[in-house]
Structure formats: C-alpha cells, structure tokens
Amino acid sequence: MILASLVFALIAALLHVYIFTMESITWTKPATWKRFSLTSQADAETTKSLAYNQGFYNLFLAIGALVGIGSVSLGQPVVGWTLVFSSCGSMLLAAVVLALSGRKYLRPAALQGTTPLLAVVLGLLAVALA
C-alpha cells in the first residue's frame, strides 16, 4: 500500500508540474488558454499574471509531494508522510473548490483530484497498518 500511495502521489505531482507549465510558461498560447475556457488572446494577456502566480502554487505543491516521496523512500517516514499528506491534501482540497465553482469544472476537478485522493487514502491506510 505504501508503494501505491507514493505512485499516486508521484502522478499527482507530475500533473501539477504540467499545470504549472501551462499556467506559468505557455499561458498565452492559444492551445493553453482555450483549454482553460478563455475566449481570446486578449483575455489570456489580461489574466497572464494571475495564471503565472497560480502556476507557481501548483509547482510548490508538486515539489512538496516529490520531497515527501523521496523522504519516505529514504527512510524518513514522519517527514515524508507529512509532506505527502500536506501536499496531496492541498491538491485534493483545491480540486473540491474547483468542483464547487461550477458544473463545467467537474471534469477538470476530477482529473486534478483523483490521484491525490488515492495517495492520501492509501497512505493513511499504509500508516495505520504499519
């Protein structure tokens, strides 16, 4: 169960690095801003600084999960699980907030929230059974 939790945490972290890339690096490219339901290049330019900032939030969550995975793997379970639960829990709660923002966000929220949910649930089971 530990391995499964860490794999799901890794997938969640990689997804959040990808989201960071879209929000902070490629935001003004049509393929990216259309994915976020923007309707024009002008809208992308107007929201660029907000997206840039949000992208770094996603990157920092990913880094926390990756450091946590590494810490668990290197025999520092208290530090590691704290980081995995904190980072993946934040990813999961962000997905809940996204889902509550409107029906059109249910699919992206499910995509964003499924792997951190599995990481947290399986991690809690692994820690409880250890």
Per-residue model confidence as pLDDT tens digits over 82-112 = 999 999 999 999 999 999 999 999 999 999 9
- Global confidence as pTM: 0.95
pLDDT(120) > 90: yes
Selection from 62, 32, 60 nearest residue 45 by Cα? 32
Per-residue pLDDT band at 130 (split at 50, 70, 90): confident
Tokens representing 66 are 């990756």
With residue 30 as reference, give the H or E element that holds it: helix 30-35
Per-residue model confidence as pLDDT tens digits over 24-68 = 999 999 999 999 999 999 999 999 999 999 999 999 999 999 999
The domains of the chain are located at 2-129
What pLDDT is recorded for position 64? Answer: 98
**Angle in degrees, CA 109, 58, 65, rounded to 5:** 95
Tokens representing 124 are 């809690």
If DSSP codes are grouped into helix, strand and coil, which group holds residue 37? coil
